[in-house]
Structure 1
Amino acid sequence: MSAGGWHSDPVTVTRRLTPPERYAFGASVRPLLVPKHDPCGRFDAGGLQLAMRTPAGPASLILTRIAGELEATGHGPGAEWAVERADAIAGLRDDVSVFPALAARHPLVERLAKTFAGVRLPATGQIFARLLRAILEQKVTGKEAHRSYRAVCRSFGEPAPGPVDLLLPPDPAVVAATAYWEFHPFGVEQRRTQALLRAAQVADRLERCADAAEATARLTALPGIGPWTAAETVRFAFGDPDAVSVGDFHIPNTVAFALAGEARGTDERMLELLEPFRGHRGRVCDLLAMGGITAPKFGPRMPLRSFSRF
């Protein structure tokens, strides 16, 4: 990846980026957004728009595909920070150089690695914004979690700077000062709300973590945040390709079925099967998901609930 020139003025900052061959822009950045509608981001034919709370202040980042390159444009007080990190947010700092050799250890993984060779793992450098989503996704269906996420963002968000119709992610300080019962109408019960409030109280410390390992240690030291939530956070905050979501409802079965032909798997079995891919274990799980690989389904689905109606 190479970068072109920079241009800045008091309002905007722009930068040109050159992605690698076969780079898949949409598939790389869509995981940054909640499906269907995310108040804090948008991906469409025009590219990616993302609202951010940077260390330098609020910003909006616009990534646009132009003649094989990416143009990154930032607006707001944090524009320079956002544009400097634009290549990481697009996944262009993701190092996949050793992965083909690891993928060759299993024929299915090798095939998926070739099929999705252009997909890169983003690294936003933003912990609390992703942690908010991960906490809301604990032990509920995706539909429930995403509904709550949208409601929380609409309630706590503020308009993002620049020519985007987006909201900034909730300010951790404002979240931390909110009573837990105020989250009830958003469909979030006391257990998840208290985990969120604890995280919001130490958000500044979390944002200063140097890498995924430090962030994981700090996150899992907080009551209500376990390995699953930490992995879901650091995977995209730091672009950690080894982050495995231990404790997931589906992934152990998917890994056991895909890699060993076993219809059901435990976390322990999943980690055993992923060990040959250490350093990129989370990437293997992502490839299985992108390839539509699932274990046979038995039993009832997890029901949809609305805690706001309890």
Structure 2
Amino acid sequence: MSTITAPGSAPGGEPVREVRTVYAPRDPVHLGQTVRSLSRGAGDPTFRVVDGSVWRGVRTPLGAATLRLTARSSSVEAVAWGAGADWVIGAVPDLLGHGDDWSSLDVAANSFLADARRRNPGLRLTRTNQVLQMLVPAILEQKVTSREAWGAWRYLVRRFGEAAPGPVATVPGPSELMVPPDASTFKSIPSWEWHRAGVGPQRSATIMRVCAVAPGLERTLALGRGGDEVQRRLRSVVGVGVWTAAETSQRAHGDPDSPSVGDYHLPALVGWALIGKPVDDDGMLELLEPWRGNRERVMRLIGVSGFRKPRFGPRMTIQDHRGH
């Protein structure tokens, strides 16, 4: 991977650092399938797709950064701007699945999964190397609908984040790209702003607790691509349960074996896809057991297969904390 630097331009005209690279892995990588789990809804201020390019607003250990990823015939072009440009460019291989080894996954005995794997050879598990940026939106999604959680994320990022650096103001779509708040900023958010975001006291308190120990949580990245110890450390924070820890390690660590137990929709999706009927969490784990060690990879294959479960059954009620 080669890197060059050049001057960019911020919205006000002042120079901003630009770093470029081209990631050309030996095996194919599908950009959209690999990073789409990082988007928190169509209006996510930290994630945009414009003309096939993926734009991310990223909070790095070195500061704010903008990352643009563009798929080419056999590579992905990456351009970054801002104080964190070097860091985010250095993280591109992990982000696009470097080190994600699918060789131990054997789905030959299941025609549905085998077909999904054959049709999606570029699917990789992303590893962002960012625990807090993955953990906070996962906490917001606890026990509420995606619509409510994503609305809260939009409000908090737009209210307390910062405009993404670089030339995003000149590009339709990314012109409102934002970098999420850091731990100290999240900790300073007053209670009435959480209320306006529609975030109840239980979830906001959990976010405060994870921000208080954020450096320790980031150090779990040194433990590798997930595993029991990573889950234990994430769950050591009161309010971070099995589901939240799994949702975080999937994205931050690239965990290949962390199915989201406790999800409202996933067990039924897995059941319908694999045996033609809905199951509960225990049933989902039983179905996934033959692929232990690769269970998240199986979940992602189901997700990209295009399969949709039948549309019936009760909908989850949206809880509006702002009216209380």
TM over 0.5: yes
Q: CA deviation at 1:264?
A: 3.3
Q: CA deviation at 1:67?
A: 4.5
* Unpaired runs of at least 5, structure 1: none
Q: CA deviation at 1:256?
A: 2.7
Which residue, out of 97, 101, 104, partners 2:103? 97
The answer to whether residue 45 in structure 2 is matched with residue 39 in structure 1 is yes
SS at match of 2:94: helix
SS at match of 2:87: helix
The number of aligned residues is 304
Counting only pairs closer than 5 Å after superposition, residues 66-215 of structure 1 correspond to structure 2 as: 66-99=72-105, 102-164=106-168, 165=175, 166-209=177-220, 210=222, 211=224, 212-213=226-227, 214-215=229-230
Q: CA deviation at 1:296?
A: 4.6
Q: Distance in 2 between matches of 1:247 and 1:21?
A: 34
SS at match of 2:167: coil
Which residue, out of 53, 56, 70, partners 1:50? 56
RCO greater where, 1 or 2, for CA within 8 Å and sep 6 or more? Answer: 2
Contact 1:30 1:43 in 2 (8 A): no
Contact 1:28 1:121 in 2 (8 A): yes
Note closer, same or farther for the CA distance 1:94–1:300 as it changes in structure 2 (3 Å cut). Answer: same
Q: Percent identity?
A: 39
Q: CA deviation at 1:65?
A: 2.5
Q: Distance in 1 between matches of 2:33 and 2:278?
A: 28
More divergent stretch after superposition (120-129 vs 11-20):
11-20
Contact 1:156 1:171 in 2 (8 A): no
Letter in 2 for 1:177: S
Note closer, same or farther for the CA distance 1:215–1:162 as it changes in structure 2 (3 Å cut). Answer: farther
Which residue, out of 10, 29, 34, partners 2:35? 29
SS at match of 2:76: strand
Residue 14 of structure 2 is matched in structure 1 by none
- 1:81-106 deviations in whole A, cap 9, x for unaligned? 1111112212344222232xx21232
More divergent stretch after superposition (251-260 vs 47-56):
251-260
Residue 18 of structure 2 is matched in structure 1 by 12
Contact 2:246 2:260 in 1 (8 A): yes
Note closer, same or farther for the CA distance 1:309–1:124 as it changes in structure 2 (3 Å cut). Answer: same
Which residue, out of 64, 71, 75, partners 1:65? 71
SS at match of 1:74: strand
Note closer, same or farther for the CA distance 1:151–1:52 as it changes in structure 2 (3 Å cut). Answer: same
TM-score (norm 1): 0.91
Contact 2:28 2:74 in 1 (8 A): no
In angstroms, what is the RMSD of aligned CA positions? 2.0
SS at match of 1:52: strand
Which residue, out of 282, 291, 294, partners 1:268? 282
Q: Distance in 1 between matches of 2:230 and 2:60?
A: 17
TM-score (norm 2): 0.87
Q: Distance in 1 between matches of 2:27 and 2:296?
A: 23
Q: Distance in 2 between matches of 1:79 and 1:92?
A: 19
Q: Distance in 2 between matches of 1:70 and 1:16?
A: 6
Q: Distance in 2 between matches of 1:34 and 1:48?
A: 14
Q: Distance in 2 between matches of 1:35 and 1:222?
A: 26
Letter in 1 for 2:210: A
* Unpaired runs of at least 5, structure 2: 8-16, 169-174
More divergent stretch after superposition (195-204 vs 26-35):
26-35
Contact 1:181 1:190 in 2 (8 A): no
Q: CA deviation at 1:175?
A: 1.0
